[in-house]
Amino acid sequence: MALPSEDDPLVVGSHFQYRNRPSRDRLWGILYGILMALTLVGGIYGIAHRNHRFSDAFQRDFLADPANCPLHGLNSLQDEPEPGQLDLPAFFKQASLWLVVSAVASVLLGIVFLQLFKHQPHLMTKATIASQIAVPLAFGGAALIAGQLGGGLMMLAMAGLAALMFYYWRDEIALCGRLLGVSAHALNSNPGLILLIVVTKIVMTLAVLPIFAFMFLAYTNGHIARNGDVAKVVHSRQCVNGDGQEVPCCAWAPDAWVPPYMSLASVMLLWTVFLAGQFRIFTISGTVAQWYFAPPEATDALKGSTLRSAKFALGPSFGTLSLGSLVLTLIELARQALQQARDNRQDGQNLLWSLLSCCLQCIWGLIEYITKFATIRAAITGEAFFEAGRNVTDLLMRNALKAYGVWWFPPLVLQLAAFVLSAAWGVLIYLISYFAWHSQPQAQAQAIILGVLSFFMAWVVQAFFASVLLDIVNAVFICYAMDKDTHSVTNPEVHEVFSQVPVGVAVEQPGGEYAYGAPVPGGYAPPNQVGSEHDRYPGATAPPPQFARHGQGTYDSQARV
């Protein structure tokens, strides 16, 4: 797709960098490509040299016979389900059509989820919050009726505490609905985002599944060897360890190259998943920024904005995304190492490890937070990762929010709404399937399994759409903060919503730099619609003196506060 010219209205005065984006952080993209190529080569080698008798390592009788160490002969046993047990292969064969229908319906349910937040964000917000009061209230009442006085009173106390907390935050909850409405409106204006993100999920799955397969097939490269825990052989089919406990005489011994390869593949698996997440944030942020900064008359020119952002992500900014996702990968590996160390700690080190874990979790959480917003900034400006991180940190510090509840409620509302909607879908599938299978043996167990699987499929889809809405909220906020830095109002409707989040007004410091102070009561409120100057500022004969018309639908500050 051709880029706009230098004098195009989309380019003039826009914070979004349409042209002249150099390749950033290229070495990190090359490193990712090299390591992924090594992962593929190792996987192909593992397939070609796998031990076809690997299945013997899972047969108890085979491993119990010391004569099979090293491997010789073949003794394959087939376990049949006992009468009365659930036959899982038969269940999945019977439920396959149900699962396919449920998967398709989960996607449709996700579309309904988006439409509800698009048309009724306040109603969905209030309903989700109300469910957090109604559920413990219902359980508490049921417990009291059943005679469980302690449990019932505790649930009722939780319901009362939740009601008090949500009443205290009622203004923030109302603003949360408006934020989600803005997010849904931005998504509605860029319908190509959903298709691109769904394709991204499919591509990520197609990339991750082979790595899983390579790791498994690499592990099949080895042989049956004597179990290292065996201290002595009691008789021909019984071995014990040093404590006299019975252990298998044989064990699977992978080849020497397998453990290093599986470590590499595990890292690449995490890196690929995080890279897909960074790609999603980048494309969403770039698309939303083009929509946000575009003048009203440039609606047609914005067609293809999603594809343009995707090309930037896969082109000049691929190295930036590779570096950002590598940072997240290293944090996840550090978390796993810390958890493993905590599991192996001695009793006297509990307090030390708890303090260390608390400090590190805070540091890692801050790095993840900055990484997310650095990716948003890079999507808009095309900056390198560390440059974008520094600039967005300064931007967020100048626009430090005091209403933390505003940013805590959107993920809470979306995640709870996704969970409740998915749970309702799982219960519905359980009831329908149980009615259809009630004459069969184990009908209830099969219906429960199908309901649980349907719930998890729906939850994954709803959580996906919720994450998209949250990414849009974050991207719109960065666009709004960039507007504030230049004292402009590019998108009046968005400014009207975000102006209610107490980020303060621009104040010139003694050194000449700007910071945002406390909001001024009765001060300027951004316009709520595009129209005449009188329409933008009801009750005023002229626009506020510190703002004047500039460019394409933008207001620039002409006076310092």
Convert the pLDDT of each residue in 69-102 to its tens digit: 754 433 332 333 444 444 555 666 666 777 777 7
Burial class (CB in 10 A: 0-12, 13-18, 19+), 546: middle
pLDDT at 345: 67
Q: 209 - beta bridge partners?
A: none
- Edge to edge, the sheet with strand 232-235 lists 232-235, 238-240, 246-247
CB of 229 closer than 8 Å to CB of 241: yes
- Phi then psi for residue 276, to 5 deg, are -65, -40
Hey, where are the domains in the chain?
A: 120-168, 487-557
* pLDDT tens, residue by residue, 199-254: 887 888 888 888 988 898 898 898 888 777 776 666 666 787 777 778 888 888 88
Beta strand extents in 232-342 (DSSP E only): 232-235, 238-240, 246-247, 250-254
pLDDT band, residue 482 (cuts 50/70/90)? confident
Q: 122 - beta bridge partners?
A: none
**What Rg, from alpha-carbon coordinates, does the chain have?**
29
- Phi then psi for residue 3, to 5 deg, are -80, 150
pLDDT at 500: 61
pLDDT band, residue 146 (cuts 50/70/90)? confident
- Phi then psi for residue 45, to 5 deg, are -65, -40
Distances (CA, A) of 342 to 266, 326, 347, 349, 551: 21, 24, 10, 9, 58
Of 413, 518, 401, the residue nearest 173 (C-alpha): 413
- Phi then psi for residue 52, to 5 deg, are -70, -10
Query: How far is residue 244's CA from residue 232's CA, in Å, rounded to a whole number?
Result: 9
pLDDT at 324: 95
Cis peptide before 254 (omega within 30 of 0): no
Of 449, 436, 442, 319, the residue nearest 382 (C-alpha): 319
pLDDT band, residue 20 (cuts 50/70/90)? confident
pLDDT of residue 430 exceeding 70, the answer is yes
Residue type at 253 in one-letter notation: A
pLDDT band, residue 333 (cuts 50/70/90)? very high
Reading the block at residue 272, the tokens are 């690929």
pLDDT at 540: 35
- 3-state helix, strand and coil shares in percent for the chain, rounded to the nearest 5: 65, 5, 25
Strands 506-508 and 250-254, by their bridges, are unpaired
pLDDT band, residue 389 (cuts 50/70/90)? very high
pLDDT at 29: 94
Q: Please give the mean pLDDT across all residues of the chain.
A: 75
pLDDT at 471: 87
Query: What is the DSSP annotation of 85-127?
Result: S--HHHHHHHHHHHHHHHHHHHHHHHHHHHHHHHH-HHHHHHH
* pLDDT tens, residue by residue, 248-260: 888 888 889 999 9
CB of 487 closer than 8 Å to CB of 452: no
pLDDT at 520: 38
